[in-house]
Amino acid sequence: EMPTPVMAIESSCDDTACAIVTGDGRILADATLSQSGHVPFGGVVPEIAARAHLSALPALVRDTLEAAGLRARDLGAIAASCGPGLIGGLIVGADMGKGMALALDRPFIAVNHIEAHALTARLPGIAANGAPFPYLLLLVSGGHCQCIAVEGVGHYRRLGGTIDDAAGEAFDKVAKMLGLGWPGGPAVESLAREGDPGAVALPRPLMGRPGCDFSFSGLKTAVAQKLPAQVRTALTRQQAADLAASFQQAVSDIVIDRLGHALDMMPRPTTLVVAGGVAANGMLRARLRDFAAMHDLPFAAPPLRLCTDNAVMVAWAAIETMRARLALGLPIPDDIAMRP
């Protein structure tokens, strides 16, 4: 029947990850290596990322098999993120997966990275109700900021998304302005704990407008304008904390407002699901939980390591894809898209 367990590879950005998951969602092994070569540049450098995936992946695949207590021939199928993302890294991961699939004579499942984030909440044990379709997904990471109606496997309706920066990108840029290093989200959040979220007046772009698109670049510019000419030396710790807290408050006000509009566009979701690295933000999570409660919606947030980029979500998306095809009586081709 379903060819399992599934080994999946994730290499679309700066995390090199490999995982093995059974058809019923048991995680047999899960490894993620975060690349450190980007730190001096204050952001992900595509060329560095691709080369780091290339050097790390073979050993990571071997270690993941060993951690699961399996041999390659025990695998039922191989999956990899095949887009969207940085093309160099995607080619490294997809080709490794295709090579393994070819050698083992197993199906290769090409997974869309966003789809993998979107389906994570359906892994057993995450959502109290199992996140039945249709649900409303807020995806907020360094690369994405979108509201998606998840109506079924392969059925996604994008309700709105950012017209400029992603939410995580805004956190990272504000962190840079405040001299907090990269990645900036966690640093901004911890500094914000010492600040007053009402201290600095900041704009909330698109708030109150119809639809659920997002915009963060005006907010970022407004933060920059609050900084004195000689950054951080001229700013007291309290001032920096107030700025961080006010920024975080503005971001969460925007997100909550946009989600209100998303609900108008998708009247009956079973669940509100949040995913992506920014979903690690404690303040945002609390606001989302309140928002869901106010609308009588069950709320599901994957644990942090499954919110940020990982290979478990890629394996799970492959499993959901295969299950949906089998349910329709469709074959699982070995080339479910040799696309990208």
Query: Residues interacting with ligand KG4, by CB under 6 A?
Result: 13, 141-143, 168, 171-172, 183-186, 189, 276-278, 280-281, 308-309
Give the separation between CA 139 and CA 121, rounded to whole angstroms: 12
**Rounded CA separation 285/232 (Å):** 29
Residue 3: Cβ within 10 Å count: 18
Nearer to ligand KG4, 312 or 322 (CB): 312
Residue 295 corresponds to which amino acid?
Answer: H
Q: Is 113 annotated as a binding residue?
A: yes
Q: Which helix (H) or strand (E) holds 224?
A: helix 217-225
189 binds, options Zn ion, ligand KG4, none, Cβ within 5 to 8 A by partner type: ligand KG4
Instruction: Specify the residue, 182 or 211, whose C-beta has the smaller distance to ligand KG4.
Output: 182
Is 88 labeled as ligand-binding?
A: no
Q: How far is the CB of 72 from Zn ion (least distance, A)?
A: 27
Q: Nearer Cβ to ligand KG4, position 25 or 42?
A: 42
Round to whole Å and give the CA distance between 220 and 158.
25
Contacts for 199-203 with beta carbons within 8 Å, 24 or more apart? 199/242, 199/243, 199/245, 199/246, 200/226, 200/242, 200/243, 200/246, 200/247, 201/246, 202/226, 202/246, 202/247, 202/249, 202/250, 203/250
- What is the per-residue binding string for Zn ion in 136-175, x denoting contact by CB under 5 A? -----x----------------------------------
Tell me the residue type at 79.
Answer: A
Supply the minimum distance, in Å, between the C-beta of residue 137 and ligand KG4. 13
Which part of the chain contacts Zn ion (CB under 5 A), choosing from 17-25, 222-230, 238-246, 305-313?
305-313
Which one-letter DSSP state was computed for residue 67? H
Q: Which CB, 156 or 171, lies closer to ligand KG4?
A: 171
Site string for Zn ion, 171-210 (x = CB under 5 A): ----------------------------------------
63 assigned to a ligand binding site: no
> Hey, what are 139's tokens?
């995806």
38 annotated as a binding-site residue:
no
Q: Minimum distance from CB of 4 to ligand KG4 (Å)? A: 26
Give Cα separations from 270 to 115, 149, 273, 296, 324 (angstroms).
18, 11, 10, 10, 20
205 binds, among ligand KG4, Zn ion, none (CB under 5 to 8 A by kind): none
171 binds, among Zn ion, ligand KG4, none (CB under 5 to 8 A by kind): ligand KG4
**Dist. CA 314–CA 14, nearest whole Å:** 15
- Cβ closest to ligand KG4, residue 189 vs residue 325: 189
Least Å distance, CB 148 to ligand KG4, is 15
Q: Judge whether 53 is annotated as a binding position.
A: no
Say whether 264 counts as a known binding-site residue. no
The residue among 32, 24, 26 whose CA lies nearest residue 56 is 32
Quick check: bond before 40 cis, omega within 30? no
- The DSSP bridge pattern shows strands 15-21 and 108-112 to be unpaired
- The residue ranges that bind Zn ion (CB under 5 A) are 141, 309
Specify binding-site residues for substrate.
139-143, 172, 185, 189, 281
Binding residues: 113, 117, 139-143, 172, 185, 189, 281, 309
